Chain A
Amino acid sequence: MRLVALEVTDFGPYRGTQQFSFASEPGVELVWGENGRGKTSFLNAVRWALFGVVLGRASSKIDLSTVGNRDDTDSSTVRSFKATLTFTHGGHTYKLTRAYREETDWTGAGAFRERKSLVKDGDVLGPEDRDRELANLLPEQIARFFLFDAELLQEYEQLLTPGSDAGEKLKASIERVLGLPILTQARDDVAAHLAIARTEQAKAAQKDKTTLNLGNDLQLASDEAENARKNVATLAELLEDLQNDVNEMEKQLTSSNRFRGLLATRNAKREEVERLAARSKDRNDELDAAAGDVWRVVLAPLVAQELASIETQTDAVNHRLVAALAARQAARAVSTGVCPTCQQAVGADLAQTLHDHGSAEDADTVQAELTTLRARRDVLRKLRADGNRIARLEEDANQARVDLSDAEGQLRDLQAQMDEAPAGTAEAIGALIDTLGQKNVSLANTRRRLKDSREDLQRKDQAVVALSEKLRRLGTASTGAEDRKVKLLVELQALLAAAVAEFRDRLRDRIEDEASKVFRALSAERDYDRLRINDNYGLTILYADGTEVLNRSSGYEHVVALSLIAALQRCSPMAGPIITDSPFGRLDATHKKHVLQALPQITDQVVLLVHDDELDRQSAVNELNTHLVGEHHLRRVSGRHTEIEAGAHP
């Protein structure tokens, strides 16, 4: 398939009808556009034309009512939009148009609907032919290998996680692009015909009395196996529905991340306000309880003043007491002629000196005075402590009131931010989280039931096989034709099952080999030698000695994903154009250079949607050299209006 032209009408930022002509020669085209100019919308316009979907963040589908170009003066109106893609394939020229437009029914009521048309070599195809052609040309399941952005590249990591839902879907897409469904569907269809043939074999056996009992047993076993098969199919369908529901709900929750964050913060703040209110009340209660002692706080300055005075007096009396006690000892030394402390004799001169300096105060009197002062000091100290406690209580109560007031203010701000969301958003998210929890429980239960049912089916199928084979070995004329058909289908089914396994192995080997070749061309790390593929087509980087590169960087995740896409293009019967939006974001200069050198060899039509900061234009021109076959830029007219223009930035 080769893209020839894209015409968009009022699609995203592209106002009015605008044309984009793809280069007619093989190579790479660059479309330059700053953030917000419409690179993703360009990719989406192609996606819309081909598959009727418009993707946003995390590959979630965008509401079509928001896609049409909005008028500068009225952004609330739902607008029509259209994309027409002209392409060639297998020598034919196709013009595919898909529009989202308002139509009125017979009652005059208007509603927006999707409309598509496909013109092949000038002839308009009918709905059946159109849908069949489109499904064969580029099935939606393989779109990811042709139309992708950095987020889609990131999903390839899921292939390394056994059993992951995204990985399983990716694996199915890969096998689809490689043609495996021809074999797997043939195997399954033959298995279905084999089951019918065995039922016919049982019916034929029931008509002959020599094989009647065996026929009855086979009929019964076939019926049981069929019921078990239906049960497995029902459970598998239920599991897929549940998984889709869970995926959808998880996407909804992801898209409401900001609001959920606000909600969590609001709820935490609400709890904090409640806690602070309780604390404030406790402090106030304690303060109320201490209200009878408030006079102590009032007296605090006087108490402090009096206490300071008493403490000064106490110090002075202390000194006087020491002096009085010393005088008492001196008097004793004078009167006895012996020092009462060291028991040495006291001479007349010393005795006279002691007598001259003796204190007139009585030590007992001074001691009594000191005791009185100390008692007053203790009372005053207690008064001061009580006053301090009440002051602290008051301070705590004031702080609690301030904290509460601050938290209430923050809660009001959070609530105001939440009020900007549509009414009922908080309730809807709460309900969504509850439902998601219930769905996950159902999902786990259904998985368990499906596993049990598959084991049950296997046992029942084995019983059918044994009975059918027993009947065939009898070789009676009554079941001859049916026996022959069963035997043929058994062999055919076994052959197709073996072929599926063989072809899968070959595909894996081939993709591993091709992806390794591309990887070596893209990688700048000499020690990285090759890639190893797993059962899910997940690729691991290996060193030359065969050891695995653990914890590879995000940039290398993209290099590996690009290697896989390139390998699929090289192995696929459905090679086509690659249109990619901002694929260089995680790559360093060397890897950007390598990717630019490799792209023209991966497929013969590549369109890169890039911005200046992601890719240096001069480097790109140098690396692509003669493979650069076209440049375009997205020119800003206004925030809601972009024009597609030929050539690089002016």
Chain B
Amino acid sequence: MPEPLTPDATGQPILSTARVEDVFAATEEVRAADFPNVPAQLLADVLAAERDNLDNRTAAARAVGRVVDGYLISAPMPTFGSTGEPAQEGDSA
């Protein structure tokens, strides 16, 4: 007999189990583990800017720029990079 399909362990109906929050949560985990110098709120604001402009690339890029500039104006200097060592650059594709 084939294995029956049952609701997942949460007991929730098997419909939409993943949410945009999954993206935020996964990214926050990476930040907390490997990039603690990047402020959590800055990351959340950048992702929110993308989420709110998913189908308008120009608007999304502008919104991300505003988030970064806003952070740099409001945050006291220096707010990151305690070692002064350069960060590793990732994929720029």
Footprint of B on A, CB under 8 Å?
132, 135-136, 139, 178-183, 185-194, 461, 465, 469, 472-473, 480-481, 484-485, 487-503, 506, 510, 517-518, 520-524, 569-575, 594, 597-598, 601-604
Residue among B16, B78, B88 making CB contact with A574, cutoff 8 Å: B16
Is B27's CB under 8 angstroms from A183's CB?
yes
Among residues of B, the one whose C-beta sits closest to the C-beta of A571 is B18
Residue among B26, B38, B61 making CB contact with A189, cutoff 8 Å: B61
The answer for the CA separation of A489 and B80 in the assembled complex, in Å, is: 11
Is B38's CB under 8 angstroms from A193's CB?
no
Q: Confirm or deny: B4 has a beta carbon within 8 angstroms of a beta carbon on chain A.
A: yes
Residue among B14, B19, B64 making CB contact with A601, cutoff 8 Å: B14
Question: Can you list 11 contacts pairing A with B, beta carbon distance less than 8 Å?
Answer: A135-B54, A179-B20, A179-B22, A183-B47, A472-B86, A485-B68, A488-B38, A494-B87, A498-B90, A502-B26, A523-B2
Residue among B2, B5, B35, B54 making CB contact with A495, cutoff 8 Å: B35
Within 8 A of A (CB), among B30-54: 30-31, 34-35, 37-38, 42-43, 46-47, 49-51, 54
Among residues of B, the one whose C-beta sits closest to the C-beta of A573 is B19
Chain B residues with CB under 8 Å of A491's CB are 35, 37-38, 80-81, 87
The answer for the CA separation of A481 and B72 in the assembled complex, in Å, is: 9
Is A517's CB under 8 angstroms from B38's CB?
no
Footprint of A on B, CB under 8 Å?
2-6, 13-20, 22-23, 26-27, 29-31, 34-35, 37-38, 42-43, 46-47, 49-51, 54-57, 60-61, 64-65, 68, 71-72, 77-78, 80-81, 86-93
Shortest CB distance A297–B (Å): 83
The answer for the CA separation of A518 and B2 in the assembled complex, in Å, is: 10
The answer for the CA separation of A254 and B7 in the assembled complex, in Å, is: 44
The answer for the CA separation of A187 and B90 in the assembled complex, in Å, is: 10
| Contacts A182-B51, A472-B86; A499 near B26 (Cβ below 8 A) | yes
Chain B residues with CB under 8 Å of A135's CB are 54-55
The answer for the CA separation of A585 and B37 in the assembled complex, in Å, is: 56
Is B5's CB under 8 angstroms from A572's CB?
no
Shortest CB distance B73–A (Å): 10
| Contacts A494-B90, A495-B43, A520-B3; A136 near B55 (Cβ below 8 A) | yes
Among residues of B, the one whose C-beta sits closest to the C-beta of A525 is B2
Among residues of B, the one whose C-beta sits closest to the C-beta of A511 is B18
The answer for the CA separation of A454 and B30 in the assembled complex, in Å, is: 28
| Contacts A136-B55, A499-B26, A521-B5; A186 near B87 (Cβ below 8 A) | no
Among residues of A, the one whose C-beta sits closest to the C-beta of B3 is A520
Among residues of B, the one whose C-beta sits closest to the C-beta of A185 is B50
Residue among B5, B38, B49 making CB contact with A598, cutoff 8 Å: B5
